[in-house]
């Protein structure tokens, strides 16, 4: 984008401008997210029963499992955005920004998963951390996406950023199956899939399953809300970067004319 107007837009009256990244749709989505989060607390900590084996500790499942599922989804969206940027003719930076925003959200969700999982581990295993297959591969995935975000901030043009981060985004998404199947491939302290048993049947009490469903809905709404806001913020950041570049070029040209 090229902008010739170098006057700061912040001088314009605020009342004439849209403030921030919100719209009516995102506000409604935000309200729906807060309501379902309230349901999650009510069902997760109140209505759902204690587990036969894990007792009250099972309540951690309703935040631990949705956050890791949404982190996986966020990283898959990053890979899709990366692929669309690289392999479509238009090479739209919108795909790149959606990929970057999704990765940021995924990293936050994964950090929550790890921290909450450590608390659960302390109750169940007696320790916060073990270099177990599932925990180690999850930590590796987390560090990989921190690396992805670092690669996005290496500098250069938006196109250079988009191209290099798209390649990284497409490569590191391949770690997700490794994390997911690590509990089957290696002997692991971590339990196997929480919802489906080895035959693919649902192996959970009805109210527990519903509480987990509420958690998944709540975090999915939150993910979409965050994705919309972050993608818009990144679009504005790119515009301002371009404008700064235009100002610098205009200043250099003015210097040349003065000589």
Binding region for another protein (CB under 8 A): 1, 8-10, 12, 14, 16-23, 37, 41, 44-45, 55-57, 59-60, 63-64, 67, 105, 108-109, 111-112, 115-116, 119-120, 122-123, 222, 225-226, 228-230, 232-233, 235-237, 239-240
Count Cβ atoms within 10 A of the Cβ of residue 197 and give its class: 0-12 exposed, 13-18 middle, 19 or more buried.
exposed
Closest CB 57 distance from another protein, rounded Å: 6
The two counts, helices (H) then strands (E), for the chain are 7, 0
List the one residue out of 104, 106, 74, 154 whose CA is nearest residue 162: 154
Residue number with CB closer to another protein (115 or 171): 115
Closest CB 62 distance from another protein, rounded Å: 9
Residue number with CB closer to another protein (140 or 240): 240
Residue number with CB closer to another protein (37 or 178): 37
Closest CB 15 distance from another protein, rounded Å: 11
Residue number with CB closer to another protein (2 or 198): 2
Helices 61-87 and 133-152 cross at an angle (nearest 10°) of 40
Residue number with CB closer to another protein (181 or 210): 210
HSE-CB at 32 with a 13 A cutoff on CA atoms is 16
Dist CA 236 CA 225 (whole Å): 17
58 near 97, Cβ under 8 Å? no
Closest CB 42 distance from another protein, rounded Å: 11
Cα distances from 222 to residues 35, 72, 74, in angstroms, run 11, 15, 12
Closest CB 40 distance from another protein, rounded Å: 9
H helices within 43-188, ranges in order? 61-87, 93-124, 133-152, 158-172, 175-185
Closest CB 259 distance from another protein, rounded Å: 32
Residue number with CB closer to another protein (122 or 184): 122
Structure tokens at 70: 């949404």
């Amino acid at each position: 984008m090229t902008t010739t107007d170098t006057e700061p837009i912040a001088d314009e009256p605020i009342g004439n401008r849209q403030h921030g990244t919100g719209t009516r749709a995102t506000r409604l989505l935000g309200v729906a997210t807060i309501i379902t989060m309230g349901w999650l607390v009510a069902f997760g900590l109140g209505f759902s029963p204690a587990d036969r084996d894990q007792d009250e500790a099972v309540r951690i499942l309703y935040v631990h499992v949705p956050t890791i599922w949404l982190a996986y989804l966020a990283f898959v969206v990053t890979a899709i955005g990366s692929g669309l940027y690289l392999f479509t003719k238009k090479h739209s930076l919108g795909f790149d920004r959606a990929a970057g925003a999704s990765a940021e959200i995924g990293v936050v969700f994964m950090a929550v998963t790890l921290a909450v999982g450590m608390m659960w581990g302390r109750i169940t295993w007696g320790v916060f951390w073990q270099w177990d297959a599932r925990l180690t591969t999850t930590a590796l995935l987390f560090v990989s996406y921190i690396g992805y975000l670092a690669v996005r901030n290496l500098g250069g043009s938006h196109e250079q950023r988009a191209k290099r981060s798209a390649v990284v985004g497409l490569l590191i998404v391949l770690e997700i199956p490794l994390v997911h199947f690590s509990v089957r491939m290696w002997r692991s302290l971590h339990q196997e899939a929480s919802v489906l048993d080895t035959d693919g049947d649902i192996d959970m009490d009805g109210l527990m399953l519903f509480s987990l469903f509420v958690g998944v809905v709540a975090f999915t709404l939150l993910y979409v809300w965050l994705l919309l806001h972050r993608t818009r913020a990144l679009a504005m950041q790119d515009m301002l970067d371009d404008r700064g570049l235009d100002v610098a070029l205009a200043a250099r040209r003015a210097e040349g004319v003065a000589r």
